[in-house]
Structures are given as C-alpha cells and as structure tokens.
C-alpha cells in the first residue's frame, strides 16, 4: 500500500471559486492509502512545491496526488518536485479540477462533488502506480542513407557537414539518381548536371561519406540509435579501388548492343560500362547478363586492355555489416509503366515517349546529342503533343494508374514545351491537361511564359486515343473549353507518366518496420508535425519516397531529415519514454496480434524455454517490446487477448481503478 499525500490547489480563485478546496482535501483524507491531505493557494508556486517536499519527508510519502490544473500544464512541474523530494516522478498523478471542473461548472456544490470524485480517481490510480525509470540506450554515431539520388546526396552531405560519418547505399553503379538524367530544371532552367554533379563530387571527396554503389540493404535489425544493417555489395567484376575510370575497357568491349538504361534504352552501351561521364564512383561495371566472359568464359578483352589491372571476373557479392544510429530512406521514384495505357500507343510507336525519355532526347549527353529528333526516323518533329496526367489522378476503382497527383508533371511539361518552342520555333506544341497546377515559387509565372511568350497551345481536355498512321500519330482529343473534338496529326507524343515509389521501397519498409500507405509511399510519423520522420523511431524520410516532390522540395526535405538525424546522433544516450508497453512472458501466447497493430515495429518475438507444470520444459514464442522504440500508445494492450501486454503508467489495473473510483 502506498503512503499518499494529497495536495489540493486553489489556483487563487480559479479553483477555489467553484470548488470547496477544504472539503476536497478533507474528503480525500479517508481514501485508501492517503496519509496526508492539504490544500494551498498555489501548489505550483515555490512555496507550494516546498510544501510537497516537506510533506514527503515528514510523512514518508510514496505517492502524490495534486488536484490542480490540467496535467498538460503542470504535470512536469510536480514530477520534478517529486524527484527533488526523492520519490519517483511517475508516482505523481494530477486530478484536473480546474480546466475540467471549476472552469466548466458554475455551482459550488456540483464542482466540489466532482472535484472529490476526480481526486478519488487519481488516488485510486496512484495506489497502483509503480516507480518508472526511462530506459537509456547508446547511440551509434553513424548514419545510413538508402538511395543516392539528390535526396540522399543532400542528406548525406548535410549530416557529414555536422561531423558525423554517413554511408550511402545506392543500387545503381553510380549515385545521381533521376536528377542526373534530367536536362534542365524548372523554373530557372539551369542545367541539372551543372548543379548536381558538383554535389556528387562533394560526396565522393567527403571523407565522412562512404558510398556503397551497386549495393542494397538486405537486412535491418535493432532499433533507434542501434541499427544493425547488412549491405549486399553486388559484384561489379571491377576492383573499385583500382579502376581509374579511364574508359578504355568500355571502348574496346566487343559487346556493344546492350540497351543503355541511363538513356532509357534509346541507345546502346557496352557490356562493361560507366553509366555516364560524371558518374560517382567513376568506375566501370560489368553487366553479367551481357558479358561473354562471364556468361561463357570467352573474351576477356577488358581485362587485357585494363592498364590498372582492375578487372576481376571472379569477384563475388560482398556482405557488409555495419552499425548505424539513424537510417534515412531516400529511395525515390520511377515513372509508372505505360504498358497498360494502350490508348496512347506507347508500345506501338517509338514516337510515343515518356517525359523522362524526352529529357534524354533533349540532353546534350543523350542519344541524340541534344538534338530533338524523333526516335523512329531521327527526323525533326514539327508537331508535338504533350499529354498530362497519364496515370495520375485516376479513379480509385480504375484498374490502372494512381489516385494521387504526381505533382511535378505540370511544371516539367511546361518546361519541355517552352524549351522546344525556344529551340525549335517552327514546332507546334500542344499540351493537353486536366488542370495546370503551379503552386510553387515562380511556378505560375513560368507556366504563363510558356503560354504567353512561347505560344504553347494549352488545351484543357484529355487525349482519347493516339493512332500511328504512316509516319504520323493521329491524336484524337477533346477540348473541354471549346467543347469540341480535336484531331491532331502529331510527329511526337510525350506522355507525362505518373510517378510511383521505387519497387525496392516495399521490401525495405518491411525490413525497417516502417509503415507505408496503400501507394507504397512511406508514411510520416505525423503528416503535419513530423513530416520527415517515419513512425519507426530512428528512421527518417527524404525525397520522393514519402510522396511526389520536385527538386527544391526534395532538397529541403533532405536537409530537414539530415537535421533530425544530426539531432539524434548528437546525443550520447537516448532516454526513452518510461510509459511503454511490456509483455508478461508467462501469459504471452506469441500470437503476433500485438505486433500487427504496433505502428512502430517495437514488438519482436523470441523463443524462450519455459518450465511446464509437469516439470518438463517447452519452448514458447513470446513477444518482447523494445522500450526504446515503443511510443506508449497502448494499442497492443487491447489487441492482446490474454492481457499479457500492458502499458506502464496506464496499466489495465490503473484505468480500471479510475473507472471504479469514478463510478463509486
């Protein structure tokens, strides 16, 4: 049984005006466990706090009930007071007799009656309180960034800048991501490579940053501050530390008919390749699907031409295990497949392309060396139709496409249209749109320039069908404003394909126990207040893996994620919330029900040997809560049928005691 002290606050007249504080402290005197009860003008004042401290000493109190304002006001204050008086801060409960009593009731009798009941409930709860101590865990001062696009790069640079080591894991042979494939960037039209590649070089040269390119994360264990991550480094059959990136091998490689993914298959590369000139790391990679030497042991040209002797056909996948304190997900996006959009004839005509392909066609380092030539016959197109919202903003019930807006298409289409008209004024450019969305800084001005200065034909309406006929693409569309059908003979049709999270995100989310929405975008811990954190502590979100974003937004989120990581890594120890769930292993069924409702992945299972009643032993599966990860919502406690799972500070018995006291 506890020795409880009750302290009723007048709060000047705020409480005492409607509640007979003397009556409250008298009534609570006889409650079980209460050994001392008093009232005072301002409990939160220094004098009031001293009163509590004195009473603790004098009456050997083990628990404290303060009947005062909302715990949201002064719970922390009184917990500190308790700690100073030498009792555990979690042995304090507040009865909210101001906001939820004196301020809402006018009548002294009613107010006093209710205040007594609220006090009794708090006393009943404290009787069952146990001292709680926040758990502490160390922090590994290293961060992992998964994905080496602009989001990952920016996050890594910012973290490294604060002095913490960072590893970037990129599944492609080079970092750079989608931005490296872009030509110009809206709304300023500066060249993507010009602003990205220096950052890539910064990453390569930063001694705090390690790049694991051509690698992926295969396993994540542990929790915030203490992740154990396994990284699989794919064999690239080239010794990364020796290769100078001279490119001799790529020139001499006899296997030259490999679709070049960097140019989205619009031209070819060799079996040993460097994705693009400014690749980081600038080392060659052998594509095992095409290399004759690897496939049937014949060739070996690259090995012969490599002066540095970097080729290693025997190289194996390598597994690296590393500890991290924080993980940033920056897995990015991809345009969706156009396979299901037969109406736009994407698979029938080479001249129906996606916007990303258009980027490569206009890029000086692209397959056409920057000249806008249509892929089928390398002729200059005179009529270009841009189709917006292909696969974006679809019906929930539609079998193809996404419900959400891909956000970036309006702007890059405006960019493409404007650049085309700028370079090739003889070209007719049509843009079919549902809405034009331009809410960013200088965005609407940019779009209006496309229309007003560059004479791009913006038509509100959707393209119904594209039919290849001869060397033309017959575009059938509706103009909703003019309310008429249009037929355009186009040379090139560009589809603004919706974007979706990279396919690698889903398995990664499972490994990280980070939650995702139905579209496979990572969910944030709070959509408004914690937008760059995942609900899983220690896992942060950067870039388009969280939702469609343009570059400025991505970069700012990347910085924000970095600052959160820095804040975490700057700590030597993590102090947890002591009000966490814990499972009584003797009652646990190991049924996984709790795990399924835990938003933080705080619950894992282990097999443990138990002594059975008949003196034999048996292995049973039991739930284990990681107190460093648990946030204390208590969802698991209700999901648990046996009641093995309980929440400290809000235990079943405590809440029931409150219910009982209120209903007494």
Partner 1 sequence: MQVKEYKPLIVAFCCNWCSYAGADLAGNNRLSYPADVKIIRVPCSCRVNPMFVLRAFQRGADGVILCGCHPGDCHYTSGNYYTRRRMALLFSMLDYLGIEKERTRVEWVSAAEGAKFAATMNDFAEKVAALGENKRLEDLRCKR
Partner 2 sequence: MRKCSLDSMNLVFAEIAKAASLYLPVDGKDGKTAYTKWEDGLTWSNSLNTVRGPKDFFFPQTENLVEFKTSGKNIEIIDTRSASEDFVVFGVRACDVKSFDVLDRVFLKEPTDSYYASRREHGIIIAAACTKPTETCFCQTFGIDAAAPAGDISIWKTETEVFWQSNTEKGAALLTKLDALTEECSTEAVDAQKEKIAATMKKLPLANLNTDAFGAGKTKEYFDAPEWKELSESCLGCGTCTFVCPTCQCYDIKDFNTGKGVIRFRCWDSCMYSDFTKMSAGQPRLTQTERFRQRFMHKLVYFPENNDGMFSCVGCGRCLAKCPISMNIVKVMKTIGGKENA
Partner 3 sequence: MQKITRDQLIEKAASLLANGTVSCVLGWQKGEFDYDITPAVFDTEDELKANFVWNDFCGANFSKYLVSKTKKCEGKILVFLKACDTYSFNQLLTEHRFDREKVYAVGIPCEGMADIAKVKAIAGDGISSIDCSGEKMAVTTIYEDAPVMIDAKDVLAERCVNCKSKKHVAYDELMGEDGDVIDSARFDEVAKIEAMTPDERFAFWQNELSRCIRCNACRDICPACTCEKCVFDNPNSSVENKSPANSFEEKMFHIIRAFHVAGRCTDCGECSRVCPQHIPLHLLNRKFIKDIDSFYGDYQAGAEVGSRAPLVNYTTDDLEPGEVFERGDN
Binding site for partner 2 (CB under 8 A): 30, 32, 613-615, 660-661, 663-664
Is the CB of 77 or the CB of 129 nearer to partner 3?
129
Residue 161 CB contacts under 8 Å (≥ 6 apart), including other chains? none
The size of the interface with partner 3 (CB under 8 A), counted in residues, is 25
In the complex, the smallest distance separating the C-beta of residue 14 from partner 2, rounded to whole angstroms, is 30
In the complex, the smallest distance separating the C-beta of residue 523 from partner 1, rounded to whole angstroms, is 6
Residues 626 and 227 sit within 8 Å (Cβ to Cβ) = no
In the complex, the smallest distance separating the C-beta of residue 367 from partner 1, rounded to whole angstroms, is 45
d(CA 499, CA 333): 6
In the complex, the smallest distance separating the C-beta of residue 614 from partner 2, rounded to whole angstroms, is 5
Is the CB of 70 or the CB of 589 nearer to partner 2?
589
In the complex, the smallest distance separating the C-beta of residue 511 from partner 3, rounded to whole angstroms, is 18
The three-state secondary structure class of 55 is helix
- Judged by beta carbon distances under 5 to 8 A according to partner kind, the member of partner 2, partner 1, partner 3, none in contact with residue 106 is partner 1
Does 652 help bind partner 3 (rule: CB under 8 A)? yes
Residues 142 and 165 sit within 8 Å (Cβ to Cβ) = yes
Does 642 help bind partner 3 (rule: CB under 8 A)? yes
Is the CB of 439 or the CB of 613 nearer to partner 2?
613
- Judged by beta carbon distances under 5 to 8 A according to partner kind, the member of partner 2, partner 3, partner 1, none in contact with residue 32 is partner 2
Site for partner 1 in 614-653 (CB under 8 A): 631-635, 637-639, 647, 650, 652
Handedness of CA 585, 586, 592, 593 (dihedral sign): negative
Does 591 help bind partner 3 (rule: CB under 8 A)? yes
In the complex, the smallest distance separating the C-beta of residue 599 from partner 1, rounded to whole angstroms, is 5
Question: Alpha helices of 236-383 — where are they, by DSSP H?
Answer: 248-252, 292-296, 301-305, 355-362
Contact residue for partner 3 among 116, 389, 537, 588 (CB under 8 A): 588
The three-state secondary structure class of 427 is coil
Does 513 help bind partner 3 (rule: CB under 8 A)? no
Contact residue for partner 3 among 320, 597, 624, 633 (CB under 8 A): 597
Does 639 help bind partner 3 (rule: CB under 8 A)? yes
Is the CB of 570 or the CB of 659 nearer to partner 2?
659
Does 126 help bind partner 1 (rule: CB under 8 A)? no
Which region holds residue 401: left if phi is over 0, alpha if psi is between -120 and 50, else beta?
left
Is the CB of 334 or the CB of 652 nearer to partner 1?
652
Nearest to 656 by CA among 105, 83, 128: 128
**CA geometry: angle 579, 585, 589, nearest 5 deg:** 110
Residue 624 — φ and ψ, nearest 5°?
Answer: -130, 130
d(CA 413, CA 437): 11
Name the burial class of residue 649, with classes exposed (0-12), middle (13-18) and buried (19+) by CB atoms within 10 angstroms of its CB: middle
Contact residue for partner 3 among 442, 575, 653, 662 (CB under 8 A): 653
d(CA 470, CA 549): 38
Residue 537 — φ and ψ, nearest 5°?
Answer: -60, 135
In the complex, the smallest distance separating the C-beta of residue 620 from partner 3, rounded to whole angstroms, is 8
- Judged by beta carbon distances under 5 to 8 A according to partner kind, the member of partner 1, partner 2, partner 3, none in contact with residue 586 is partner 3
The size of the interface with partner 1 (CB under 8 A), counted in residues, is 48
Tell me the per-residue interface mask from 82 to 111 with partner 1, x by CB under 8 A, - otherwise: --------------x-xxxx-xxxxx--xx
In the complex, the smallest distance separating the C-beta of residue 408 from partner 1, rounded to whole angstroms, is 25
Is the CB of 347 or the CB of 519 nearer to partner 3?
519
In the complex, the smallest distance separating the C-beta of residue 663 from partner 2, rounded to whole angstroms, is 7
Does 360 help bind partner 1 (rule: CB under 8 A)? no
Does 587 help bind partner 3 (rule: CB under 8 A)? yes
d(CA 523, CA 138): 26
- Judged by beta carbon distances under 5 to 8 A according to partner kind, the member of partner 2, partner 1, partner 3, none in contact with residue 96 is partner 1
Point out which span in 8-16, 41-49, 569-577, 592-600 binds partner 3 (CB under 8 A): 592-600
Contact residue for partner 3 among 109, 254, 592, 606 (CB under 8 A): 592
Residue reference for tokens 């835990």: 598
Residue 271 CB contacts under 8 Å (≥ 6 apart), including other chains? 253, 255, 256, 258, 286, 287, 290, 291, 292
- Judged by beta carbon distances under 5 to 8 A according to partner kind, the member of partner 2, partner 3, partner 1, none in contact with residue 439 is none
Does 114 help bind partner 1 (rule: CB under 8 A)? yes
Is the CB of 34 or the CB of 486 nearer to partner 2?
34
Does 29 help bind partner 3 (rule: CB under 8 A)? no
Is the CB of 351 or the CB of 658 nearer to partner 3?
658
Sequence-distant contacts of 198-206: CB under 8 A, at least 24 apart: 199/150, 199/153, 199/154, 199/157, 200/153, 200/175, 200/176, 200/278, 200/280, 201/278, 201/280, 202/157, 203/148, 203/153, 203/156, 203/157, 203/168, 203/175, 203/280, 204/280, 204/281, 206/156, 206/157, 206/160
Residue reference for tokens 């290293």: 142
Number of C-alpha atoms within 13 angstroms, CB side, residue 416?
A: 33
d(CA 331, CA 558): 12
- Judged by beta carbon distances under 5 to 8 A according to partner kind, the member of partner 1, partner 3, partner 2, none in contact with residue 118 is partner 1
In the complex, the smallest distance separating the C-beta of residue 650 from partner 2, rounded to whole angstroms, is 21
Does 662 help bind partner 3 (rule: CB under 8 A)? no
- Judged by beta carbon distances under 5 to 8 A according to partner kind, the member of partner 2, partner 1, partner 3, none in contact with residue 100 is partner 1
In the complex, the smallest distance separating the C-beta of residue 119 from partner 3, rounded to whole angstroms, is 21
Nearest to 459 by CA among 497, 489, 495, 433: 433
- Judged by beta carbon distances under 5 to 8 A according to partner kind, the member of partner 2, partner 3, partner 1, none in contact with residue 650 is partner 1
d(CA 168, CA 544): 17
Pairing of strands 272-273, 285-286: antiparallel
CB neighbour burial string for 55-74, b if at least 16 within 10 angstroms, e if fewer: bbeeeebbbbbbbbbebebb
Residues 543 and 557 sit within 8 Å (Cβ to Cβ) = yes
Per-residue CA distances from 591 to 92, 560, 588, 621, 626 (Å): 35, 38, 8, 8, 17
Residues near partner 1 (CB under 8 A) = 70-72, 96, 98-101, 103-107, 110-111, 113-114, 117-118, 121, 515, 523, 525-527, 535, 579, 597, 599, 631-635, 637-639, 647, 650, 652, 655-656, 658-660, 662-664
Residues in touch with partner 3 (CB under 8 A): 586-593, 596-597, 605, 612, 616, 618-621, 639, 641-644, 652-653, 656
């Amino acid at each position: 049984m506890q020795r409880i002290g009750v302290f009723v606050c007048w709060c000047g007249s705020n409480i005492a005006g409607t509640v007979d504080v003397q009556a409250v402290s008298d009534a609570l005197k006889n409650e079980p466990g209460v050994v001392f009860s008093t009232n005072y003008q301002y409990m939160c004042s220094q004098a009031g706090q001293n009163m509590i401290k004195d009473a603790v000493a004098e009456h050997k109190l083990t628990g404290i009930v303060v009947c005062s304002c909302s715990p949201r006001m002064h719970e922390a204050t009184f917990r500190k007071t308790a700690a100073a008086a030498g009792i555990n801060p979690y042995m304090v409960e507040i009865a909210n007799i101001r906001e939820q009593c004196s301020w809402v009731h006018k009548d002294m009798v009613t107010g006093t009656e209710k205040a007594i009941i609220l006090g009794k409930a708090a006393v009943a709860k404290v009787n069952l309180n146990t001292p709680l101590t926040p758990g502490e865990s160390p922090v590994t001062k290293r961060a992992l960034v998964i994905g080496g696009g602009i989001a990952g790069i920016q996050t890594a640079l910012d973290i490294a800048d604060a002095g913490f080591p960072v590893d970037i894991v990129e599944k492609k042979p080079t970092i750079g991501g989608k931005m490296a494939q872009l030509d110009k960037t809206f709304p300023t039209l500066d060249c993507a490579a010009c602003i990205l590649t220096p950052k890539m070089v910064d990453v390569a040269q930063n001694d705090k940053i390690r790049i694991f390119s051509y690698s992926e994360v295969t396993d994540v264990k542990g929790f915030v501050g203490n992740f154990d991550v396994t990284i699989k480094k794919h064999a690239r059959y080239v010794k990364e530390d020796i290769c100078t990136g001279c490119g001799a091998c790529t020139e001499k490689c006899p296997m030259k008919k490999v679709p070049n993914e960097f140019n989205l298959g619009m031209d070819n590369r060799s079996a040993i390749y460097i994705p693009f000139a400014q690749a980081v790391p600038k080392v060659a990679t052998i594509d095992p699907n095409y290399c004759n030497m690897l496939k049937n042991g014949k060739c070996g040209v690259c090995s012969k031409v490599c002066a540095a002797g970097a080729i290693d056909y025997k190289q194996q996948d390598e597994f690296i295990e590393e500890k991290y304190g924080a993980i940033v997900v920056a897995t990015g996006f991809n345009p969706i497949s156009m396979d299901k959009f037969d109406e736009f004839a994407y698979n029938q005509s080479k001249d129906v392309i996606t916007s990303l392909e258009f980027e490569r066609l206009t890029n000086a380092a692209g397959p056409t060396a920057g000249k806008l030539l249509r892929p089928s016959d390398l002729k200059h197109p005179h009529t270009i139709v841009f189709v917006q919202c292909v696969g974006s903003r679809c019906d929930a019930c539609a079998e193809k496409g996404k419900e959400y807006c891909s956000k970036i298409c309006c702007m890059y289409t405006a960019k493409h249209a404007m650049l085309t008209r700028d370079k090739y004024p003889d070209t007719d450019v049509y843009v079919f749109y549902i809405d034009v969305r331009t809410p960013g800084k200088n965005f609407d001005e940019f779009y209006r320039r496309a229309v007003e200065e560059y004479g791009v034909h913006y038509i509100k309406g959707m393209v119904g069908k594209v039919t290849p006929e001869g060397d033309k693409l017959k575009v059938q569309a509706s103009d909703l404003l003019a309310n008429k059908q249009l037929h355009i003979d186009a040379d090139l049709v560009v589809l603004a394909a919706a974007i979706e999270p990279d396919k690698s995100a889903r398995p990664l989310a499972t490994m990280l126990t980070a939650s995702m929405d139905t579209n496979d975008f990572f969910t944030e811990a709070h959509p408004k207040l914690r937008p760059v954190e995942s609900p899983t502590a220690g896992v942060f979100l950067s870039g388009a893996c969280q939702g469609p974003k343009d570059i400025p937004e991505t970069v700012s989120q990347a910085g924000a994620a970095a600052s959160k990581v820095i804040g975490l890594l700057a700590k030597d120890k993590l102090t947890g919330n002591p009000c966490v769930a814990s499972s009584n292993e003797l009652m646990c069924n190991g049924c996984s029900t709790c795990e399924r409702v835990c938003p933080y992945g705080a619950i894992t299972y282990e097999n443990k040997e138990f002594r059975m009643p008949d003196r034999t032993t048996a292995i049973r599966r039991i739930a284990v809560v990681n107190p460093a990860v648990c946030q204390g919502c208590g969802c698991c406690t209700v999901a648990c049928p046996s009641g093995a799972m309980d929440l400290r500070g809000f235990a079943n018995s405590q809440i029931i005691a409150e219910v009982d006291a209120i209903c007494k």
